[in-house]
Structure 1
Amino acid sequence: MIRRGGAEVTILARELRDGWCLAIELEGTSGWVGMGRKVRAELSARGRVAVSAFQDPNQIMMQVAVDGTPLCELNLIAGYFTRGQEAEGAEVESLLAAGFSRDGGPVGQAAQLDLGRRAVPALVAVTGVELEEARFDGPWYAGLAAPVR
């Protein structure tokens, strides 16, 4: 199981279009497992892209990994990269085009959004998948996460 501090976590997941999967982690009390380096490395291995995001009362963060390697981390409240400011690639360019910045505040579309609403356009910028309400309808797989070794 994926464990953080010995606690198992519950994951809900469903298939989206074009090979993407949406997974939602329900317990953040033991840390957000999906934000772990090993999890993102495995999910992005073999040329894939993995995006993890979380929100708690004091922060909203997003991390992107490509081909098993962390690419960047974005502070969605501040609107800029906290790691990977020098990172290059289509994913970074898409985030910059959406109004997030390398070292300043958000601009354009990102600056117009409430702080809690910046995660979705950032996810869409990287994945190209719109997160509409209909994406949450239909079958979901749920259970305790499996081990990451």
Structure 2
Amino acid sequence: MDLDEMFGEGWCMTLAPHPLTETLHLMGVADPVPCPEGLNHATRFLQEHQGEGAFILGRAMPGGWTLTVEFESWIGFDDDVLRTLAADGRTAVSAYRDPDTKTATIAHDGAILGRLELSGGYFGGPSGSVDTGHPVVASLTAAGFDASEDCEPSGEADTEEPEGCLILAVRVLTGITLTAADFDAPWTGGVSCPAFSPGRST
């Protein structure tokens, strides 16, 4: 699955442990609407129905998860948003490209655990250090992601393809194996309110 080919240069995708409508509300979409179009036409569809703004599209996934996708905005990658999505003992993950960096942020129980560099397969803490004893971090290192200063992944995480690292991390953290079919229509989405607009501090 080539995410760059599907999404273009700027994109953000988030896996949240909440139902679809609740996830969109937590990400600032006050009035989600059904969007029967595929990803290539969804932004135009929402512009016609809701005007200009940062659009978030979502769809329900197995196990009570929701997948959201954004184009040219990174609301799901915002630390405050991720903390909210990961409150009450939950885990959330968001990945973005802008346009050359490919990074995933992992949050659990209302806290940011760190950032996973998808181009290198290594994991860094929010302040440079990683709590390797944390169960969520341990699940990633068990899959081969390197949380040390060596930045040398192993096993499944030792891949040159950032998409492969992202798919592996999502599978480890959520139990979901993303496929191209997960990005087919239909979607539900809308405009995020200004409080969650791109450029907000992370």
TM-score over 0.5 for the alignment? yes
Contact 1:72 / 1:87 at 8 angstroms: preserved in 2? no
Give TM-score, length-normalised by structure 1.
0.82
Larger fraction in helix = 2
Q: Secondary structure of the equivalent of 1:135?
A: helix
**Alignment match, 1:93:** 138
**Alignment match, 2:186:** 139
Instruction: State the one-letter code of the partner of 1:123.
Output: V
Contact 1:54 / 1:62 at 8 angstroms: preserved in 2? yes
1:69-80 matched pairs, under 5 angstroms: 69-80=111-122
1:35-74 matched pairs, under 5 angstroms: 35-74=77-116
Larger fraction in strand = 1
**Alignment match, 1:115:** 162
Gaps of 5+ in 1: none
Q: CA RMSD in A?
A: 2.3
Q: 1: CA distance between counterparts of 2:78 and 2:183?
A: 24
Q: Structure 1 residues 89 and 148, CA, compared in 2 at 3 Å: closer, same or farther?
A: farther
Q: 2: CA distance between counterparts of 1:15 and 1:64?
A: 20
Query: What is the CA deviation profile of residues 93-149 of structure 1, one whole-angstrom value per residue up to 9, with x for unaligned ones?
Result: 221122110122211112134234321111111111111233234531021124658
Gaps of 5+ in 2: 1-26, 29-51, 197-202
Say which structure, 1 or 2, has more relative contact order (CA 8 Å, 6+ apart). 2
Contact 2:121 / 2:146 at 8 angstroms: preserved in 1? yes
State, as a whole percentage, how many aligned pairs show the same letter: 37
Counterpart pick for 1:15 among 60, 66, 76: 60
How many pairs are equivalent?
Answer: 142
Q: Secondary structure of the equivalent of 2:72?
A: coil
1:105 aligns with 2:152: yes
Q: Secondary structure of the equivalent of 1:95?
A: helix
Q: 1: CA distance between counterparts of 2:53 and 2:166?
A: 25
Q: 2: CA distance between counterparts of 1:113 and 1:9?
A: 31
Contact 2:107 / 2:113 at 8 angstroms: preserved in 1? yes
Give TM-score, length-normalised by structure 2.
0.62
Q: Secondary structure of the equivalent of 1:45?
A: coil
Deviation >6 Å, runs of 4+: none
Deviation (angstroms), 1:16: 0.6
Q: Secondary structure of the equivalent of 1:118?
A: helix
**Alignment match, 1:129:** 176
